[in-house]
A = this chain, B = another copy of it.
Amino acid sequence: MSGLRLIPEALGREAFSAFGEVIETAGRPADEINYGQTLRFDNLAEVDVAEQGGRPLISIFRSKPVTLPFRPRVMEYHPLGTQAFVPLHHHPFLVLVAPASEELDSSMIRAFISNGRQGVSYQRRTWHHYQLSLGVECEYLVIDRGGSGDNCVECELKSEVWIGG
C-alpha cells in the first residue's frame, strides 16, 4: 500500500464544523417538555433543501460494511441540499469528507469515526464518501432533498488514499 494514509479521528463538532454538523445530544442544551417526561435537544442540524423547489425526504439507508484499511475510489457532493445521516444502531462508522471545491483534492480528505450514536449532516457542496459501515450491515435514517434538479456530483480520486488499517 502506497499513497496517503489516514487514521480516522474521533468525530467532534468543532473538528467537523467546516463540513457540516454532528447530530448528538452530548454537550448540547435541552428543554424539558411534556410535563417533565421528555428532554428536547432542539434543532441539532439545519435542513437546507428548499432550493429549486426541493422538499425534505425521510429515508432509510441500509449499508453493507467495508473493512479497514479501506481505499476510497470516488466521493460526491450535493449542490442543492444538506444530507443528514443518523445511525439506527450503535456501531462506529466512518465519515470521509473534503472541503467544498470544484475538483476534489485527495490531499484534503479528512477521516472521522462516529461513536455509533453520533449522526452527521453534510453541508451543501461538501465532498463526502457514501455511507461506510464497519463490521456489520447498518441502517441510517437519512434526511435529504427530494425534487427535480441534478443534486449529485461525483469525482474519482486521482491519487491513492488509504483509511485506517
Contact = CB atoms under 8 A, between A and B. Distances in A.
A56 interface: yes
A47 interface: yes
Contact of A141 (B35, B141, B146): B141
A91 interface: no
A141 to B, nearest CB: 5
B131 A38 contact: yes
Q: Main secondary structure on chain A at its contact with chain B?
A: strand
Interface residues of A, number: 43
A64 B41 CA distance: 14
A71 interface: no
Interface string A45-77: 101010000011111111110100000000000
B25 A58 contact: no
A130 interface: yes
A56 B145 CA distance: 12
A44 interface: yes
A44 B60 contact: yes
Interface of A: 23-25, 30, 33-35, 37-45, 47, 49, 55-64, 66, 84, 86-88, 117, 119, 121, 130-131, 139, 141-143, 146
CB-CB nearest 8 A-B residue pairs = A34-B130, A47-B56, A41-B60, A39-B62, A38-B63, A45-B58, A56-B56, A42-B59
13 contacts: A23-B60, A25-B62, A33-B130, A34-B63, A34-B130, A37-B66, A38-B61, A41-B60, A41-B61, A42-B57, A42-B59, A47-B55, A86-B86
